[in-house]
Amino acid sequence: MRIKETYSITGMACAGCVAHVQDAISKLKGVSYVEVTLVEGRTVVEYDTDLIIPEEIKRVVDAMGYRLLLGDPKTREREQKRFERRNLMSIRIRLIVTVCMSVLMMLVGMKHDALGMGHHTAQIIQAVAATVVYFFCAWGYHVRTLKQMRTLSFTMDTLISMSISVAYFFSLYRLFSLGDETLSSVFRYSYFDVVGMIMSFVLLGKLLEEQAKSRTTDSLRRLIDLTPQTAMVMGDRGEYEEMAIEDIKIGDRVLIRKGDRVPVDGVSEGHGTFDESSITGESLPVERMVGTPVLSGSVCVGAPVVVVAHKVGADTVLSRIIETVRQAQASKAPIQRIADKVSGVFVPVILGLSFLAFIVWGLAGGEDAWLHGLYFGITTLVIACPCALGLATPTAITVAIGAASEKGILIRDAVALELLGKVTDIVFDKTGTLTSGLPTVSSVLWTVETDEYKSLLVSAEKHSSHPLSGALIRSFGKYQKDLHIIDFVETPGKGISFVFNGEEYRVGNKGLVGEIVCKPHEEPSVKEFEQRHSLSTLVYYTRGNRLLGLFAIEDEVLADASKTISELKAAGVRVHILSGDRTERVEKIASQLGVDSFRGNVLPEDKKTYVDDLRGDGQKRIVAMIGDGINDSPALASADVSIAVATGADVAMDVAMVTIMGATVESVVQAVHLSRRTSKIIKQNFFWAFVYNLTALPIAAGLFYPALFISPMWAAGAMAASSVCVVMNSLRIKR
């Protein structure tokens, strides 16, 4: 059986690590697909369970000097957090030790005469301090380098280990074999202090990089933190008991107190008020009545209410959102694959350039020629930075997808994120995207208006199963009273009739109420109302033949629809509207929103044909389709980018590349702008990474010496700073 799993790999330091791990896993028998990202080491592997088991993948990864975490997502998350805490603590300790040793080496090297010690004694002290740095602070780099060399893989660890190894062992050789013979001013002293300075900058950069990278996953961690660990569940004895959420079963009654987070998806047994901002991005609390859905992760902000669990564990909306965000952050944009290929050969090329610089300078002759070669060879090893290339895309993708999830926008993968910014045409399915999808009383004309008639209307409509009855109940629900009606009859396609206090009442269309009677002065108003709302569904309310009220019911345009369309057009996106509704109604809404391209009376297959025609008209369009993700699935599948506007239990994440949680379509504009901003940041990251390496390497190799050159210690600082710059630039997406 073929399955796809997401794992975490710890210990990777650069894009070279990613490339070699990915290459090693992809060569395993039974593995058909693998994606490895540098941020948190997220790894997606598709494999055949009949040919390979996860433990075999782990064995290969661990043999390369890294660690693959197995187990369920929560276990891996805990392991990942523990590793990150230990890793940050280790980096801090090693950085403190390295800085102290470096300061000691520099002090002894420059002030040994003032301290009353000879040059040779100062060299001995420097050697001891450098040994501490080499074997304690840099030991992890050496171990990983040795493991990687067994498989002929080269990473950033290789460059760091080799550069300080050359400096350290040459300095030892010079100390014990060459003595104190005088050299030129550049090489008067050994490279012991260089070992300390290189590691100081490397570890400082690593600390800043890890802290910045952890901020790129803040959004995912906040989503995970929305899941409570325990809940109050009705026990066998009829009392509420605290229970771990893993033990909650479908059908359990969960007590949600004020301030509690909902641990399951379910339905409310009473009236409750919930803050769903963490899930939908909507800031205003929502009311949940008896029988209405309640989402996991939402917070009770009103009176306590009981929720009956319908979905638990990994099946809840919150769990699915977390998994979607986690997989999306582990995906790669197409542009990243180019960087991965470059990174795969980057380190071997740098090793070759470093050796070439050593040989060329050595053979060039002149005073201290081979020492010049050694100096520039070490600098070339240190200054090169594949990390910046490796971090350019994944950090930006991780920040962007996390920021989108906080706004109630779920982006399935990096490809969808990249395509969103390139969209040229957006096709809206009218109902449920630009309109509420819920019948609403848009206008009312009372000829005889009393609270009793309104109460009677609500009491009667509560017995009806027609969707329009809900619109009337929502509009006049505050007048609800327990009134005794008899002889209730519902005529399909027409309306309802009933008797109250010996009089017959009717609520429905003209075919049901027949010829209506109203006073002469009321007739003009009634006719004007009918003409003005000719495209709406008209509902008449009569007592006998006497008209009491007239209601226009519509699927109202969402409050932010007009603003959304205007902003999309301003962004250069062409907007289209499709609907199975009457063409006249679609035209009215299109005109109201300022959309020229629209069609009504279309079936699901017609929507697919429309999208296909747009994509195939030769204008190189990138077409996005926005629908409810269910009855629009043919068109969604045909579009370049499929977007579902989902509310409550109607989440369509299984269908769409992008899911808008909540009832606001304005999120579509935010998604497009976020995508474009992310693409801009990624291009800036790549520009910086390439320009840095192309500029730094000639200087490091001594091409402009003596007019312009850089020492190994400052080269280490530049290398560390380049990675930090890329990560910090990616974090700007959050602003």
CB 292 within 8 A of CB 305: no
Residue 496 or 76, more confident: 496
Domains of the chain: 2-71 (3.30.70.100), 128-221+326-391+680-734 (no CATH), 230-262+265-311 (2.70.150.10), 397-435+557-674 (3.40.50.1000), 437-555 (3.40.1110.10)
Whether this model's pTM surpasses 0.85: no
CB 210 within 8 A of CB 87: yes
How long, in residues, is the chain?
735
DSSP alpha helix (H) spans, 174-301: 192-216, 218-225, 277-280
Contacts within 8 Å (CB) and 24+ apart, 350-355: 350/159, 350/380, 350/381, 350/384, 350/697, 351/154, 351/158, 351/159, 351/162, 351/381, 353/380, 353/697, 353/701, 354/162, 354/378, 354/380, 354/381
pLDDT at 471 over 50: yes
**pLDDT in the model for residue 650:** 44
Return the SS3 of 477.
helix
| 238-246 average pLDDT score | 87
- Of 421, 432, 467, give the one whose Cα is nearest residue 629: 432
∠ CA 501-507-508, nearest 5°, is 160
| 454-471 average pLDDT score | 84
pLDDT at 541 over 90: yes
pLDDT band at 651 (very low <50, low <70, confident <90, very high): very low
Residue 5 CB: number of other CB atoms within 10 A? 14
**pLDDT in the model for residue 424:** 93
Q: What is the mean pLDDT of the chain?
A: 81
Residues with a catalytic annotation lie at 429
Q: How far apart are CA 240 and CA 433, in angstroms?
A: 41
- Segment of 154-158, 341-345, 404-408 carrying the highest mean pLDDT: 404-408
Residue 15 CB: number of other CB atoms within 10 A? 30
The string of pLDDT tens digits covering residues 95-121 is 999 999 989 988 887 787 787 888 788
